[in-house]
């Protein structure tokens, strides 16, 4: 963003609205101006600045230079006008900004009578073109570009155990694990922060070294799920489906064990793992977070390549199957319909 546009917002408490709201208001205002001009019998093409009140380039440069240095000089250093020209009935001014030995450039505009300073004009045609482009329907992406092929596809799924978007991704992936079974490797991993919310015990272990966004209960559950996948992997996905459905971050510290017992999971083994291996296991998660530059949930990687598509079972199945050199027969089975690609997540 332009330097002076930032400063203008700060000094004049300018709050940008949502793009679509701004666009609607702009169009309405333009229509109102047009109707008013026609009603008064005036032409909108009539110059607003007459020869009598138009500043020369030198006068405009001096006025703007004095104004900018008075208003913003203390914030960004020395302001020098490098070039001035006319564009669309305005003066277009190229500035150099020098502060602590560093020099930057910025472009601003000034009305030719010197009354209106415009730090960052908006091109209406460009805005409309961008809006039209954003509203065009796009086909959902079901596989990342340039996905490498392997004999056995490896999927690495990063979530937070109580991120709703991560749970959504897990819900889409679980049917695929049941469909493809041992023909694919799908590893669960977790998004771990350091010193989150100050690194206190409400969010973290090991004096702030390992933290989770939704609190210590979520972090404990992350570790329990890592332990389960490590020691009793065949029960992991069924357990995940149950605990996501029946437990929440408020009651997980007791609820998890009830759900685990319905699947005959050795809960003592999980408790021991949590108490003795938590830091070691979390350190490995942090390494993977850094390797893939993961900071939000969910993040899914197929053969080391990040997946950017939808979160329905059919989306994941199609993407995972595209990672095989030779796709297994199960890949021809439909798991419902596809969904739109989404970037919603926790953290990031």
Instruction: Report the pLDDT value the prediction gives residue 43, as an integer from 0 to 100.
Output: 44
Which has the closest alpha carbon to 187: 170, 211, 171?
A: 170
Domains of the chain: 3-135 (3.10.450.630), 153-347 (3.40.30.10)
Angle at 300 between CA 297 and CA 301, to 5 degrees: 145
In sequence order, what are the residues at sequence separation of 6 or more whose Cβ sits closer than 8 angstroms to the Cβ of residue 40?
none
Cβ atoms of residues 227 and 269 within 8 Å: yes
Starting at the earlier edge strand, list the strands of the sheet with 184-190. Answer: 184-190, 153-159, 299-302, 305-306
pLDDT band per the 50, 70, 90 thresholds, residue 139: very low
Instruction: Report the pLDDT value the prediction gives residue 321, as an integer from 0 to 100.
Output: 96
In sequence order, what are the residues at sequence separation of 6 or more whose Cβ sits closer than 8 angstroms to the Cβ of residue 50?
none
Cβ atoms of residues 203 and 216 within 8 Å: yes
Instruction: Report the pLDDT value the prediction gives residue 75, as an integer from 0 to 100.
Output: 63
Q: What is the pLDDT of residues 17-57, one digit of tens each?
A: 444 444 444 444 555 444 454 545 544 444 555 666 888 98
Q: What is the pLDDT of residues 97-137, one digit of tens each?
A: 777 666 667 788 888 888 888 876 666 765 665 565 444 44
Cβ atoms of residues 249 and 217 within 8 Å: yes
Instruction: Report the pLDDT value the prediction gives residue 341, as an integer from 0 to 100.
Output: 85
Beta bridge partners of 267: none
Q: Please tell me the number of Cα atoms within 13 Å of 76 on its side-chain side.
A: 21
Query: How distant, in Å, are the alpha carbons of 6, 49, 108, 109, 123 from that of 3?
Result: 5, 28, 10, 13, 18
Residue 292, pLDDT > 80, answer yes
Mean pLDDT of 283-290: 97
Residue 142, pLDDT > 90, answer no
Residue 224, pLDDT > 80, answer yes
Q: Which helix (H) or strand (E) holds 107?
A: strand 102-111
Mean pLDDT of 310-316: 96
């Amino acid at each position: 963003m332009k330097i002076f546009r930032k400063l203008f917002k700060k000094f004049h408490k300018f709050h940008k609205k949502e793009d679509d709201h701004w666009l609607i208001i702009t169009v309405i205002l333009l229509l109102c101006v047009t109707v008013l001009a026609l009603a008064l019998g005036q032409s909108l093409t009539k110059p607003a600045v007459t020869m009598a009140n138009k500043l020369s380039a030198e006068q405009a440069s001096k006025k703007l230079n004095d104004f900018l240095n008075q208003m913003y000089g203390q914030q960004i250093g020395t302001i020098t006008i490098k070039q001035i020209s006319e564009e669309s009935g305005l003066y277009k001014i190229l500035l150099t900004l020098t502060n602590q030995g560093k020099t930057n450039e910025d472009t601003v505009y000034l009305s030719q009578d010197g009354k209106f300073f415009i730090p960052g004009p908006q091109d209406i045609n460009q805005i409309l073109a961008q809006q039209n482009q954003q509203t065009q329907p796009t086909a959902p992406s079901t596989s990342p570009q340039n996905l490498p092929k392997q004999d056995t596809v490896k999927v690495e799924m990063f979530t937070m155990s109580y991120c709703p978007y991560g749970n959504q991704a897990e819900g889409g992936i679980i049917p695929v694990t049941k469909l493809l079974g041992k023909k694919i490797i799908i590893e669960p991993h977790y998004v771990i922060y350091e010193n989150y919310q100050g690194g206190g015990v409400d969010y973290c272990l090991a004096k702030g070294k390992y933290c989770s966004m939704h609190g210590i209960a979520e972090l404990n559950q992350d570790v329990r799920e890592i332990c389960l996948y490590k020691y009793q992997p065949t029960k992991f996905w069924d357990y995940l489906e149950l605990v996501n459905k029946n437990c929440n971050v408020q009651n997980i510290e007791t609820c998890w064990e009830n759900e685990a017992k319905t699947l005959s999971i050795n809960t003592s083994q999980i408790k021991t793992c949590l108490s003795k291996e938590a830091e070691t296991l979390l350190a490995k998660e942090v390494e993977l977070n850094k390797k893939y530059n993961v900071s939000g949930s969910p993040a899914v990687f197929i053969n080391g390549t990040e997946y950017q598509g939808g979160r329905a079972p059919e989306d994941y199945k199609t993407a995972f199957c595209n990672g095989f050199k030779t796709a297994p027969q199960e890949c021809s089975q439909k798991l419902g319909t596809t969904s739109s690609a989404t970037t919603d997540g926790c953290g990031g």
